[in-house]
Structure formats: structure tokens, C-alpha cells
Amino acid sequence: MGTQSSEPAILISGLTKNYGKHRGVKNLSLRVERGDIFGFLGPNGAGKSTTIRCLLGLVGFQEGSAAVLGMDAERQRKALLRSVGYMPSEAMFYPAMRVREVIRLAADMRGMDCRKEAQMLCERLMVDPDKRIEELSLGNRKKVSIVCAMQHCPQLFIFDEPTSGLDPLMQAEFFKLILEYNSRGVTCFLSSHVLPEIRKYCRHAAIIRDGSVVCTDTVENLTRTRAKHIRMLRDGKEEDFLYKGNLDALFAGFAGHHIEDITIEEPELEEIFMQYYTETEERQ
Amino acid sequence: MTFYRHEMRMNRRNLLIWTACVGGMCMGCILLYASLADSVQNIASSFSDMGAMSAALGMDKMSIATLRGYYATEIAMLHGLGGAMFAALLGTGLLAKEESGHTAEFLYTLPVDRGWIVLQKYLALLSCILILNVVCVALYLLGFVLLGERMDAGELLRYHTAAILMQIEIGTICFAISAFVRRSAAGAGLGITVVLFAADIMCRIIPAIEGAKYLTPFYYANAADIFADGGLNAGPTAVGALITAACLAAAWIWYGRKDLR
């Protein structure tokens, strides 16, 4: 099946997907190494879900290639899905079914007995297996989705906006689980627009804008760019901006001004992210 | 067969309701025959003498003054129409409900072939149609026993085989529609059923559109024809089988390549 461990967990090259006249993703390339926790950042409509749907074979694509764990997303879809645990952003199930029936259905469709792992996950996420799906809130449906994605102990998790709807306690438990599975070698691909969780838990991240990846790096490097967050009190006026460039030029620009206070800091990931989404010119 | 069992469970309530409605209504009409028999005797000759309308309803071949004729012209029409509407409603929802209910992302990211899911859903459609018909026929037989009447088993078997084929054809047409749409097309399914039923009546009245008998499955599943002629009309039945196979193939091919949202 071509699942050599040297192959990256996800390898996308020149992926282009359009929905008729509407743009999905455009010439998107991405590489996620095995064992990584990878953040895929972008606002709604940037192409995050389309990328994931292409990877999982839910939609076809016009150009490029996509492989998961060394398996081609188009030709080896079934084998690929055996090794992946996916949690969609919407987390919808059959309303009349009970939680335990949904979890059992997901395991049976994989031809696996996952009762032990499922029970552990239900206990940790406080999922009531006897409730009907139609009785569950979005947060509780998300928890059922997490159990379905994790119970078969896959090699790769793909989570699409996993924490929306989860309360802070459950978010913490969810990431605790991610870190535990990751310590056993499971790769995690986390699509999100919640920057603090990417900053806190991911090692690498990519930023997607208008269907294309504009930046991929370690989260550490992304927050350590040449850009600096400048806060100062100049001529009695407070200023707060992101400066990217030579600091000599910045200080030269202060000549003739009265600088009462100044702090120069590494920017937050949020600010780096926003840089890619604003067309404002660099302030000198 | 995990998914087949799941699909059967999902549809069991609808199956129960439709079986009770169609079977109960037709069995009730069979039991009514005892009280209608005398009055029907008086109007049977006028019913058989209404020209084209009698031909359309099969009353030129069968007399409703007998239980056999009453069954072929009245009960079979109710059974055929009820069963066809059930098959249409079921068929139009089977594939589309995964996208309209947003469960496609759950189901189709499990390691199963889409084609396999399509076939298991189709198998569930066939099973539901079969169960509805078997239970209904059992209820009709009970009705005959309660009436103290006997019916020819061969005639009943031939008609109900044709009725099942007709329901399968309509169910499969609607199943194919379900593969192409993202929301349940229940209205379209019921509309198609009514149009095909009307086409059967029209092609018996208007000679210019007699060819429509090859397009409507109600033609080969007409109980009066089957009871009077002793068998199924081979041409329209064969065309019906081809339409069924083509619709199933279209659903399988299209759904296997479709972008699921």
C-alpha cells in the first residue's frame, strides 16, 4: 500500500480545485511530516476545508496531486481512510441514533472492535453513550465526532475546526488527548482559525489565503520573524504597530521627534497571521 | 452488510407506516366487498359499458361483480399506487439524505467504497419494497379467508410479481434522481409516480400515444390485463427491466464521482 514511514504524513503538490466558477484552492502545496502537530490556519472561506476534502477523496480536483501517508488520495482512497481519523467541522450524525450506535457503526464500518478505546474516550470526554444524537448540543456532537475519529487509533488525525462549540475544559482535555496520541507517533493536522491553540499546541503551521498557502514554517519561526511589534509614545501620541525592516531606518525616522517611551517585542502569531490578511503598507 | 443493516434500521419506521397504510387500506376494501357485493352487482354492467374509460380501468375485461374482478380493478390499483409512492419516496431520499443531513462527511470518510454504499442502499430499497409487498399480500390473503372466498394463487403471484417489478422500477428511477441532487427530491418522486400512473390510463384511452405503454411500469403491472391474459406483457416488462438497470448504473457511476458536500 506504499505506507513506508519515510513518506510524509501529508504531501500536496500544486493542488487546484474549483467548484464551477468558484475558487476552492489554487496551486496549493503542503508537506506535513510524520509525528508532527501541524496547524492549518486561515479564515472561513480560505480553502481549508476544500483542501481536507480533496485529501479524503470527498471531492475530486482538477490539477495537482495529494497523498496521505504515502497513499494517493484519488487511487488509494479506501486504504488511506483506514489510517486516518477525521473530524469534520459540522459533526453531524443520524439524529434518531444513540451515541453508542453511532460510535459502534463507525467501528463496524472499519471492521474493528474499538470498544475499549471508545469507552476510555467517552469517559474522558464525558460523553453519554445512551443519549440520542438529536438531544445533543453542537459541543456534545463534537465530542462524539472526536471519539469516532480517535477510537481506531489511526496514524493521522485530521481535525477541521475541532474546538468550536467545546467548552474550555473539554478543549483542554481534547488537546491533552492529542498530545498523548502524538507522543505515540500519531500525526495531527489541525485546521483552525483559532490562533492561540495553534500557537500553544502545534510545532509547524501553514497560513492559507485565497486558496493558496502563503507561508509554512515552525510556529516558533513564524513568531520570530524580522517583524517587531513596536509600542511607543511619540510626541505625546501613543502608537502601536508592526514594523518589518531595518531597525536603523526606524530609529533614523525618529529624528526630530520626542520619544517618551518605547517597547520593541516579538510579534504574536495573531499579528503575523493578520499581516498576510491586510494590505496595509508597512509603516516606516 | 453493516451499512445495509444500518439503512434498514433508518427506514423501518417509514416501512411500518406505509405497510400498515397500504396493507390496511386494501385489506379493509377487501373486507368491504361482502357488504358491497349486492349493490355492485347492479352497477357492474354499466361500469363495463363506459367505452374508453372502462378499458382504461380494466373494467371491459373484468367484472367488478366478482371478487376476482373487484380485486383486479380496485384493490390492485390502490396497492400498485400506494406501493409505487412508497418506493418513490424511499428512493428519492436514500442517497441525497447524506448530503442534506450533512452526514456525508461522517459516512464517506470511513474506509468503504462509495459504490459499495450505493449498492447496500439499493439493496435496502429492494428489501423494503419486498417486505411491504409480502406483508400486504399476507394481509390480503387474511382478508380472503375472513370473507370465506378463494382466489387463484397463480394469478395473484403473477400480478404481485409484476407489482413488485413496477415498484422496483419506480424506486430505481427515484434512486438515480437521488444520486444527482443534494436534497431529497420527494416531490419529484411523487410527481413522477403520478405522471406514470396517468400515462398508463392515457395510453389505454388514446391510440396515438399507445407507445407510452413502454415507458410506464403501471402498464405491465395492470392486474386486469394479467388476470385476463394469464401473464405479463413481455415487451413493456423487458423495457422496464432495461430502464431499471440503466437508472441503477447511472446512480452508481455518477455518485461514485460526485463531489460530496
- Could you report the per-residue pLDDT of A193-209, keeping only the tens digit for each? 888 888 889 999 999 98
Q: Scanning the structure block, which residue is given the C-alpha cell 438529536?
A: A134
Identify the CA nearest to B214 among candidates B222, B203, B205. B203
How much is the pTM?
0.87
CB pairs under 8 A between A and B: 59
Residues on chain B touching A96 (C-beta within 8 angstroms): 10
pLDDT (tens digit, 9 = 90+) per residue, B119-167?
999 999 999 999 999 999 999 999 999 999 889 999 999 999 999 999 9
What are the chain A neighbours of B7 within 8 Å (beta carbons)? Answer: none
Instruction: Supply the pLDDT for residue A221.
Output: 82
What are the phi and psi torsion angles at A267 (to 5°)? -75, 155
| Cell 399506487 belongs to residue | B81
- With an 8 Å Cβ cutoff, are A106 and B110 in contact? yes
Helix axes B76-94, B114-147, angle to 10 degrees: 160
Q: What is the pLDDT of residue A281?
A: 38
Sign of dihedral through CA atoms A134, A170, A189, A183? negative
pLDDT per residue as tens digits for the range B34-69: 887 777 777 766 666 676 777 777 777 777 788 998
**Closest CA–CA distance from residue A261 to any residue of chain B (Å):** 54
Domain residue spans of chain B: 2-257
What amino acid is encoded at B93 in this protein? G
Whether A266 and A220 have beta carbons less than 8 Å apart is answered as no
Chain A residues close to B253, C-beta within 8 Å: none
Whether residues A90 and B102 touch (CB distance < 8 A) is answered with yes
SS3 state of residue A26: strand
Nearest to A60 among B2, B101, B259 (CB): B259
> Is the confidence at residue A279, as pLDDT, over 70?
no
Q: Do B259 and A148 touch (CB under 8 A)?
A: no
Whether the pLDDT of residue A282 is over 70: the answer is no
Q: CA geometry: angle at A179 spanning A174 and A185, to 5°?
A: 130
CB-CB neighbors (< 8 A) of A85 in chain B: none
The answer on pLDDT for A250 being more than 90 is no
Is B238's pLDDT higher than 90? yes
The residues of A whose Cβ lies within 8 A of any Cβ of B are 19, 53, 56-60, 78-82, 84, 86, 88, 90, 92-96, 105-106, 108-110, 145, 148
* Residue of B105, B255, B258 to mutate when probing chain A, most A C-beta within 10 A: B105
Q: What pLDDT is attached to residue B48?
A: 67
A283 DSSP assignment: P
Report yes or no: A137 and A164 within 8 Å, Cβ to Cβ: no
